[in-house]
Structure 1
């Protein structure tokens, strides 16, 4: 199953929070996915140490949201995920 990696906000506050916006766009496009949260906070970089290794492995950076589709394709960043979801509606 596809996975959306998010911060601890998960898919809350879809109108304002980057992770929520990505989740909403994917759902609106009909995608099924599980949410996996990663620890740490952007404003407190030291809180990320060792908690975002998977994100770094997938994207070369530590920011979320990151979406991994059913085929293993990786899309990261809110705007990119939203655009991808619009361009790739679920069948």
Structure 2
């Protein structure tokens, strides 16, 4: 099985963007958090291949890694917010 690093980066950046929005409203209203969130979400959109692109097969296979794990990769939100939560904890604490 080939692992698509763009799929992993898309998941990390998507969930990092969502976590930055949550952190902005729940814990610290720093304006730069919204800019980081928008940047992460745009980056996730930018690196996600369209359905008709040739290298979409590895991306889809990585997102579904059903042979090895029960849930698809997109449901692993706790794993993907871990890096940004550590960074924000380091900055704000």
Query: What TM-score do the two structures reach when normalised by structure 2?
Result: 0.31
Q: Where is the helix percentage greater, Structure 1 or Structure 2?
A: 2
Query: What TM-score do the two structures reach when normalised by structure 1?
Result: 0.32
Q: Where is the strand percentage greater, Structure 1 or Structure 2?
A: 1
Q: Kindly name which structure, 1 or 2, has the bigger radius of gyration based on alpha carbons.
A: 2
